[in-house]
Amino acid sequence: MGVLLCPSQAFVVASLSLKFANASSVDASPLSAKASPTYNRSCNLARASHEDAASLSTQGISFRVSGSRRQVNDPAGRRRRIERGFSTMTTFAAAMQADVLDSAAEVKPAAAVGIIMGSDSDLPVMQSAAEILQLFGVAYELTVVSAHRTPERMVKYAQTAHQRGLRVIIAGAGGAAHLPGMVASLTPLPVIGVPVKGNATDGLDSLLSIVQMPRGIPVATVAIQNATNAGLLAVRILGLSSPELVDKMLDYQKGLEEMVLEKAERLEQLGWQEYLKQQQ
């Protein structure tokens, strides 16, 4: 059994296979965990700066987490600290009796991108943005926020987004597509708008609603239905502070190039009639 502690609850986990953002995790040894700012965030220890601290006690064992350091006192009062960033909770498992959450093994990294849409009917289009973020390993959240049907929810979402750690918002909407623009007016974050094609028109209504923003409130608008590009643009924005994402983007672009070159070669070999026939 391994243990991950959050201030309000203690998680007992079968083995310390805990995952943290940035793929940082874990010692192999049971009952040890890596404390990191992300860990702290995951636990709501502190929307917290690196140095914020939280503590709790369980059956006489007290824990203090402060940034990337952790001290563990066992019941006998012996203090343990292994090294900056690590603690070993050797006496902890036996003492645990607090909330047991099996899902603790699935500690989610904080979302960097918020994907929102005016209706669940937009989801078949907006899922492409989520797929891209998954491909690049970018943490995201996804939900429905309607500018017209849930205006108060929209205001709250947009005004708190940057405080919650989001760095980019992707907003999709169809018809009178006011969501991206209104969200952009309420947040300092970059907003990427996805015009969704409705049933009544070809999507031009959504495109113009999203793209024709007044000076001062930009929305980066992608093509109608093109949530894929919204995801890719979000990755590129995040790449400004992540060399790893830049490398992944270069790989992705290389993949596109190879795909096209392969198609061109095949087309040239087969001739266009046979190529088309084989595509059907």
For ligand RP5, the closer CB: 21 or 182: 182
- By the rule CB under 6 A, 121 interacts with ligand RP5: yes
- By the rule CB under 6 A, 196 interacts with ligand RP5: yes
Q: What span, in angstroms and rounded, lies between the C-alpha atoms of 118 and 109? A: 25
As a dihedral over the C-alpha atoms of residue 81, residue 87, residue 93, residue 95, rounded to 10 degrees, the angle is 50
- Minimum distance from residue 99 beta carbon to ligand RP5 (Å): 38
For ligand RP5, the closer CB: 122 or 141: 122
**By CB under 6 A, which span of 21-29, 61-69, 111-119, 252-260 interacts with ligand RP5?**
111-119
- By the rule CB under 6 A, 219 interacts with ligand RP5: no
Q: Do 154 and 183 meet the contact criterion of CB atoms below 8 Å apart? A: yes
Among residues 2, 67, 114, 175, the one that binds ligand RP5 under rule CB under 6 A: 175
Integer CA distances (angstroms), 106 to 39, 43, 94, 184, in order: 12, 12, 22, 32
Q: Do 168 and 182 meet the contact criterion of CB atoms below 8 Å apart? A: no
String marking each residue 124-143 x if it binds ligand RP5 according to CB under 6 A: --------------------
Question: For 57-213, where are the alpha helices, taking DSSP H only?
Answer: 92-95, 123-136, 151-160, 179-186, 204-211
Beta carbons within 10 angstroms of residue 271's beta carbon = 10
Where b means 16+ CB within 10 Å and e means fewer, 235-247 reads bebbbeebeebee
Question: Beta 61-66 vs 53-58: how paired, if at all?
Answer: antiparallel
Among residues 38, 68, 146, 209, the one that binds ligand RP5 under rule CB under 6 A: 146
Among residues 116, 173, 194, 238, the one that binds ligand RP5 under rule CB under 6 A: 173
- By the rule CB under 6 A, 225 interacts with ligand RP5: no
- Minimum distance from residue 211 beta carbon to ligand RP5 (Å): 15
Beta carbons within 10 angstroms of residue 222's beta carbon = 24
- By the rule CB under 6 A, 174 interacts with ligand RP5: yes
Among residues 119, 128, 209, 225, the one that binds ligand RP5 under rule CB under 6 A: 119
**By CB under 6 A, which span of 80-88, 98-106, 118-126, 183-191 interacts with ligand RP5?**
118-126
- Minimum distance from residue 171 beta carbon to ligand RP5 (Å): 9
Footprint of ligand RP5 on this chain (CB under 6 A)? 117-119, 121-122, 146, 173-175, 196, 198
